[in-house]
Amino acid sequence: MNKIELWFGEQYGRENGRYLQIQVDNVLEKVKSPFQEIAVVNSPAFGKILVNDSIVMLTEADEAGYHEMIAHVPLCVHPKAEEVLVIGGGDGGTVREILKHSDVKRVDVCEIDEQVVEVCRRHFPDMANSFDNDKVHLYYQDGAQFLTVRRNQYDVVIVDSTDPVGPGITLFTEQFYQSIFHSLKEDGIAVSQMESIFWHGKFIQNTFLFLNRIFPIARYYFTMVPTYPSGMIGFSLCSKKYHPVEDFKPEKTEKLTNLKYYHAELHKAAFILPAFAQKLI
């Protein structure tokens, strides 16, 4: 008898005729939280995969391309980031990378869904064990509400969010970025997950219209992640003072350990966009 093949289909974008399929050989866990369905499946090609509401959040094989780029780019631009906030990031991968910077004294993590953290502790300890560090403080609440009482507190804010659907939709509004601006110190930097230039051009364009009104400096950069929509994903870097390339400090990259993706040359190259994307932003 032939072996039965099971395939998981990424649902985000299916209504537009786009559909990613990944072969899986085991469903390791599936739970329903108050906010979403959380699942962990195993793939022969990508290892363990975290899936929220049928959308791929991360895979063991390619998570470094995302977590290293969302964390090290702002932290290698800011001269001395001591207080960092992560909104979302319940898998712990972004926090793992932040803690590689010796200047960082405190990392606040605001994750809306406590069960995401619990599931990742069980299945992705390489990432989620970062929450056990004494510098890390976990808060389980909505990120937009969390920011309303924070003023001039953080050197860097990183929004490690899901796509702009479900519980993540409040993290893509102009009001939310106004709150980020006020939570940052006078030379603060904010980085947010900002979708794919190939699939979400209009969304990115509309978002940068208000980002450029709020921040003196707003730039888009990108990374390659094969299991994300279109095989790449981008970030917005918004800064009150520092330019992401002109103020980049390559000497900081030399102190980072166990990197799979990020390096000094790639930092600069990530801000060089295709012609069509330059026109969008």
Catalytic residue positions, numbered: 160
As a three-state string, the secondary structure of the chain is CCCCCEEEEECCCHHHCCCEEEEECEEEEEEECCCCEEEEEEECCCEEEEEECCEEEEECCCHHHHHHHHHHHHHCCCCCCCEEEEEECCCCHHHHHHCCCCCCCEEEEECCCHHHHHHHHHHCHHHHHHHHCCCEEEECCCHHHHHCCCCCCEEEEEEECCCCCHHHHHHHCHHHHHHHHHHEEEEEEEEEECCCCCCCHHHHHHHHHHHHHHCCEEEEEEEECCCCHHHEEEEEEEECCCCCCCCCCHHHHHHCCCCCCCCHHHHHHCCCCCHHHHHHC
